[in-house]
């Protein structure tokens, strides 16, 4: 490790701390390869981490950027959001320069994963920070001799000042599945999406760039090779059902997720796939 990349602990769990000379900082949990915190240079933390999140090395951590693989949500036979977020990853690469710091974490199949999902794989999560930018890339390789399919997402929890005061731009005209309304198919007609109730939507064919605009700041969200975008906020009733989220936690968070959900990704033996999500603080 270097003075820009170091090992540390958060609530007793191992993390990698990235920092750049310009003051950008990120914390990545080895449990789940999950970015827990990201502070752009000269700014404040822009990821929401629940103050009641559980850090026991077994329970999914509420907040940051959980990695959903090889299943999104409960859309399949596996545990919700798959198993990658519940596994301990290893650090495979770290690099740093005058304007960036980067770490790659890796997870491979073992007896426990094969008992749930009988496939050989290697997945890597690469996190890079610098200036006002956070880049996250998920790469999946089929290391077996038979094809497999999967769904995936970077379940990004943005930290917001007041969820009712923001709007999401770039989704107008898209069809979406409204999971908060019985998985009905709808079309987005508004110029900007506002959060005024529970929102749980999977947008198909999302544009590469979205904007979350608040009163005095914004967040640009750029994705590559993720064809869908998920927007989620649990609102009052669902928040009350989540023991690891404060009753008012929904007001301070908004999930905008780069995802591949509507059509599973098919990987032939020996093939690989990657998808990226970049956050740019404004």
Predicted pLDDT of residue 3:
78
Catalytic residue among 124, 155, 188, 198: 155
Cis peptide before 70, with omega less than 30 degrees from 0?
yes
Q: Which residues of the chain have pLDDT under 70?
A: 1-2
Rounded CA gap, 171 and 229, in Å? 9
DSSP code, position 280: E
216 as an active site residue: the answer is: no
Predicted pLDDT of residue 254:
98
222 as an active site residue: the answer is: no
Contact 126, 17 (CB under 8 A): no
Catalytic residue among 124, 188, 198, 257: 257
Q: CA 186, 74, 34 angle in degrees (round to 5)?
A: 105
Predicted pLDDT of residue 1:
61
Rounded CA gap, 204 and 222, in Å? 15
Show the 3-state SS of 84-139: HHHCECEEEEEEEECCEEEEEEEEECCHHHHHHCCCCEEEEEEEEEECCEEEEEEE
Predicted pLDDT of residue 272:
98
Rounded CA gap, 85 and 157, in Å? 14
Strand partners, 102: 95, 128
Contact 97, 128 (CB under 8 A): no
Structural tokens at position 28 = 């990545």
| Nearest residue to 258 via CA among 172, 136, 168 | 136
Predicted pLDDT of residue 27:
98
Predicted structure pTM score: 0.97
All residues at 6 or more sequence positions from 181 whose CB lies less than 8 Å from its CB, including other chains: none
């Amino acid at each position: 490790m270097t003075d820009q990349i170091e090992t540390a602990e958060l609530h007793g769990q191992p993390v990698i701390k990235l920092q750049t000379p310009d003051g950008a900082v990120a914390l990545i949990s080895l449990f789940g390869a999950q970015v827990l915190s990201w502070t752009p240079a000269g700014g404040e933390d822009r990821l929401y981490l629940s103050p009641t999140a559980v850090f026991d090395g077994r329970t999914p951590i509420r907040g940051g950027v959980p990695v959903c693989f090889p299943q999104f949500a409960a859309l399949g036979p596996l545990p919700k959001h798959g198993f990658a977020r519940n596994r301990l990853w290893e650090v495979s690469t770290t690099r740093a320069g005058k304007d960036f710091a980067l770490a790659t974490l890796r997870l491979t199949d073992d007896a426990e994963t094969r008992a749930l999902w009988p496939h050989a794989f290697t997945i890597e999560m690469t996190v890079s920070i610098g200036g006002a930018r956070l880049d996250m890339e998920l790469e999946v390789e089929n290391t077996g001799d038979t094809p497999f399919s999967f769904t995936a997402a970077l379940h990004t929890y943005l930290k917001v000042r007041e969820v009712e005061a923001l709007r999401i731009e770039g989704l107008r005209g898209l069809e979406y599945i409204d999971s908060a309304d019985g998985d009905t198919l709808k079309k987005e007609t508004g110029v900007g999406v506002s959060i005024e109730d529970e929102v749980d939507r999977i947008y198909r064919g999302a544009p590469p760039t979205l904007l979350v605009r608040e009163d005095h700041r914004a967040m640009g969200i750029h994705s590559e090779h993720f064809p869908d975008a998920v927007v989620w906020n649990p609102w009052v009733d669902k928040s009350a059902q989540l023991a690891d989220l404060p009753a008012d936690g929904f007001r301070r968070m908004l999930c905008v997720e780069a995802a591949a959900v509507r059509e599973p990704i098919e990987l032939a033996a020996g093939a690989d796939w990657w998808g990226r999500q970049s956050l740019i603080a404004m």
